[in-house]
Structure 1
C-alpha cells in the first residue's frame, strides 16, 4: 500500500477525530470523514500499548492494512482512522477481516461498483 494512502501527521489525524462520524463494535472502531476534494482514500491505524507488545501490535496493523488493501478499489473520497481495542487480541485473521469489513459497510465508506 502506498504511503500516499496514509494519514501521517498528528494534525491530519486530529482533524479526523474533531470532525468525525464513527461506528464501533467490541473489537474495533472506525472514525471517518468524507472529503470530496480528495482523489483517493487515506487512513491510519491506532493501537494502544495495552494491546500487547510491539510485535503483536505491528502484526495486527499489518493484518488490517492487508484487509484495507483488498477493498481499496471501493474506497474513495474518505479519510478514516481504525482504532483497535485490546479485546481483539484473541481474534483470528478471518474474524478480524469479518469485523473490519462489517464496520466499513456500516460506515458506508465503500462505493458500489456499477
Structure 2
C-alpha cells in the first residue's frame, strides 16, 4: 500500500480513536473517521502481541491490507483503523474478507451496497 494510504503515526491513530466511531464483530473492531481533506481511504492496522508471534501478526496485517487494496473502489474515502481480535490468527483469507465486509456494512462504509 502506498504511503499516502497508511496511518502510521501514534497521533493519527489517537485522532481516529477519539473522534471516530467504532464498529465491531467477533473478529475485528473498526474505527471510522470521515475526513474531508482526503480523496482516498487511509488505513491503520493494530494487531496485539496476544495474537501470536511476529510472523503471525505480519500475516494478519498483510491479509487486512490485501482486503483493503482489493476493495478500495467500493469503500468510502475516509480513515480506518482496524484492530484484529483473537479468532483471526486461525482464519483463512476468505473468512477474514467476509468478516471485514460484515463490519464495514454495519459501519455503512461500502458504496453501492458492496458485494
The normalised TM-score by structure 2 is 0.91
Deviations 1:55-99 (A, max 9, x none): 000001101111111111123331010000122221111111100
User: For the Cα contact (< 8 Å) 2:33–2:80, is it kept in 1?
Assistant: yes
Q: Could you say which residue in structure 2 is the equivalent of 1:26? A: 26
1:78 paired with 2:78, answer: yes
Unaligned runs of 5+ in 1: none
User: For the Cα contact (< 8 Å) 2:30–2:103, is it kept in 1?
Assistant: yes
Q: Secondary structure at the match of 1:7?
A: coil
Shift of 1:22: 1.0
CA distance in 1, matches of 2:25, 2:90: 15
Runs of 4+ deviating beyond 6 Å: none
The normalised TM-score by structure 1 is 0.92
CA distance in 2, matches of 1:71, 1:14: 25
Shift of 1:17: 0.2
Q: Could you say which residue in structure 2 is the equivalent of 1:42? A: 42
Q: Secondary structure at the match of 2:30?
A: strand
RMSD of aligned Cα (Å)? 1.4
Q: Could you say which residue in structure 1 is the equivalent of 2:90? A: 90
User: For the Cα contact (< 8 Å) 2:60–2:88, is it kept in 1?
Assistant: no
